[in-house]
Chains A and B, each alone.
Chain A
Amino acid sequence: MLTIKNLQAKVEEKDILKGLNLEVKPGEIHAIMGPNGAGKSTLGNVLSGREGYSVTGGEVLFNGKDILELDAEERAREGLFLAFQYPVEIPGVSNLEFLKASMDAIRQHRGEDAMDSMTFLKLAREKCKAVNLDQNFLKRGVNEGFSGGEKKRNEILQMMMLEPKLCILDETDSGLDIDALQVVAEGVNSQRGPDRSFIIVTHYQRLLDYIVPDFVHVLADGKIVKSGGKELALELEEKGYSWIENGEA
């Protein structure tokens, strides 16, 4: 699914990723944990092709394709989805219109016909229900006036609609209360499948109580310094990141 080899990246002349390796197979859930400033968010941004992040070395293969050559929208159409830490508002553009444009672009890329409006609307309503958002949210501007929790649930709604192959959740748990956290986790769990992989970037172990990962990696100073099973997250929670950073591990 995803192979990252020796990835190095810069933001504003500062080296952030310094030789990161990661292999994600279909159906797997990988959690990436690490202290602030380790490069966790940078990883998601680099993989999804955001401007301002320059790759200085290494290779990223997504389903065998070198995606570093592709524009952000092309990577998205290939099935790479990033759930944002801070989803922005787009006033005046309705959620429905946004989702339709998004879905049309992705389906067109796959060589499928655009979904007819009725089927689309039905699906959108269904997914709204699944993430516990009122249907009126579909008519509202994208994230316009949404609470923090509503914005995150809206991200999951988009994920469910677009059915990506690889989902990167960038600190989706930040700022969520326990109820919203559960809704988000249920959404993710319902999307688990043999052909869909997840990279869950998080600072805290808390989210991993609800979304159980197959692997946990610790990212520090731009590299993966330790990998393990789900129990690694608990160990980190107990001992703190300094345990890793001080090289005691």
Chain B
Amino acid sequence: MSQEVEKYIKSEYEAGFVTDIDAETLPPGLNEDVVRFISNKKGEPAWLLEWRLKAFRIWQEMEEPSWAHVHYPEIDFQAISYFSAPKSMEDKPQSLDEVDPELLRTYEKLGIPLHEQAVLAGVANVAVDIVFDSVSVATTFREKLAESGVIFMPISEAVHKHPELIKKYLGSVVPQKDNYYAALNCAVFSDGSFVYIPKGVRCPMELSTYFRINEQNTGQFERTLIIADEGSHVSYLEGCTAPMRDENQLHAAVVELVVLDDAEIKYSTVQNWYPGDAQGKGGIYNFVTKRAVAHTNAKISWTQVETGSAVTWKYPSCILKGDNAIGEFYSVALTNNYQQADTGTKMIHLGKNTKSTIISKGISAGKSQNAYRGLVRMNPSAAGARNFTQCDSLLIGDKCGAHTFPYIESKHPSAVIEHEATTSTVSDDQLFLCQQRGIDPEKAVSMIVNGFCKEVFKELPMEFAVEAGKLLEVSLEGSVG
């Protein structure tokens, strides 16, 4: 193998355009004044500024982690700008009609419906929050959601409107000192989505946030906080894209999920940050911390489709705190050209009879490196806990790599842990069989890869599953022979 296979993976990044918009961007550099500037810009209360400053001081003491199976030049944190906002957001638009049309067109180009009528008339039943560089620019369907008591708004706004919730839960799942990038995020986070689902409420529609990096040399540090109160249910989707640029850009987000007793959160991600060009130039560094705490009888399900970014470092995790809590992690990570991914999950079992499932599908093409890294820990309190892990790698071509780093720690004799792993390739013989039946090779590769990912795709909400399939197809273009 296989020129035959390689010929068909050559990706054209479709979301790579730049929007020409007047932006207010901080000069590069990071110090306490920058933290104060951001906090001031958002008109934050004193306690939050202090919280940020504490994080900043912690971050200064920390070292960048080097254990992941990824290689990239040292990041100069003083060369990055930590705040960028479209100028037209200075006087915040009151409704979608007042949003800069250039901004709206950006999202139209990305195929994201922002006009509520369009959404209502159309296919999807989705409320959307849009984060453009450092600010949230629009959130749709807020009134409709409010009827059932659901709060869905930019986190910067929630700080003012729901300070009690923010104060109680911000940093409760991912504390400031958690890790290097989380600490940095705590110090300089600019915006993100906030969701609260009241007791016993089943959120009437899918909630969704689309993140877009536009400005050059800026980092994006968004923070998402979702609280599902007792017995509630919500399905949340997030999507990410960025323009094609020769420089690497940093994205260090934090997502915290709080799933109270008997509640359920289903969190799906389609991550398509710019992966860099075919020579490995440019692309996003995606260093993200995502974690959920599940209380008694609660359930958290992470589904991710990761096709973008030059370097990905991401481990959506579940702390199964309450008895009978359930954690799930379904992942498809595709790397092509010079992309590197080190991704997986942590399942921390604290409660009795907690259950977790991990299904990870890694696809490597081109000269990329793809690693699964996962921790399953059964604490001494986790009587009767169970885990099932399945970790499959698919190689396309012979210049890429797949790696698996499972960590298993069991401190309770009644805990059951299962781990299965496979590695396979898309072979010339498979391709030829498809071609001999009239199927063109690009379609064949995408069919084979989609077949490989089937178990994960069926966990995605309908519209996303279609999108994910198409995304794989685009990301794999030219990966064969």
Contacts and interface: CB of A to CB of B under 8 A. Distances in A.
Contact of A72 (B3, B436, B453): B436
Interface in A42-71: 48-52, 71
A73 B440 contact: yes
Given A102-B438, A106-B438, A92 B443 contact: no
A104 B454 CA distance: 21
Contact of B435 (A52, A72, A89, A158): A72
Interface residues of A, number: 32
Contacts, number: 82
Interface string A160-203: 00100000000000000000000000000000000000000000
B430 A88 contact: yes
B433 interface: yes
B427 A101 contact: no
A170 B481 CA distance: 25
Contact of A73 (B430, B439, B450): B439
Interface string B450-481: 11111000000000000000000000000001
Nearest to A87: B433
A26 interface: no
Contacts of A97: 447, 451
A148 interface: no
A73 B435 contact: yes
B440 A92 contact: no
A92 B427 contact: no
A90 B439 contact: no
A109 interface: yes
Interface stretch (A76-84, A129-137, A211-219): A76-84
A141 interface: yes
A50 B432 contact: yes
Contacts of B429: 88
B438 A93 contact: no
Interface string A82-116: 10100111111110011001100110010000000
A215 B452 CA distance: 44
Contacts of A71: 435
A106 B441 CA distance: 14
Nearest to B426: A90
A51 B4 contact: yes
Most buried by B among A81, A93, A105: A93
Given A51-B481, A91-B452, A162 B430 contact: no
Contacts of A162: 437-438
A92 B437 contact: no
Interface residues of B, number: 26
A231 B263 CA distance: 77
Contacts of A73: 434-436, 438-441
A62 to B, nearest CB: 14
Contact of B439 (A91, A92, A102): A102
Contact of A92 (B432, B434, B451): B451
A143 to B, nearest CB: 9
A90 B435 contact: no
A93 B436 contact: no
A15 B434 CA distance: 27
A76 B428 contact: no
Interface in B410-427: 424, 427
Contact of B430 (A90, A102, A105, A158): A90
Nearest to A73: B435
B30 interface: no
B448 interface: yes
A101 B432 contact: no
A142 B435 CA distance: 14
Contacts of B441: 73
Contacts of A76: 435-438
A90 B436 contact: no
Nearest to A82: B436
A93 B451 contact: yes
Nearest to B3: A51
A246 to B, nearest CB: 36
Contacts of A93: 447-448, 450-451
A98 B447 CA distance: 8
Given A48-B436, A72-B435, 14 more contacts: A49-B435, A51-B3, A51-B4, A52-B428, A73-B436, A73-B438, A81-B436, A88-B429, A90-B433, A90-B447, A92-B448, A98-B437, A105-B443, A109-B438
9 contacts: A76-B435, A89-B430, A90-B434, A93-B450, A98-B447, A102-B438, A105-B440, A109-B438, A162-B438
Interface of A: 48-52, 71-73, 76-77, 81-82, 84, 87-94, 97-98, 101-102, 105-106, 109, 141-142, 158, 162
Ordered nearest first, which 10 A-B pairs have the shortest CB separation? Answer: A92-B451, A93-B451, A102-B437, A105-B438, A72-B435, A76-B438, A73-B435, A88-B429, A106-B438, A77-B438
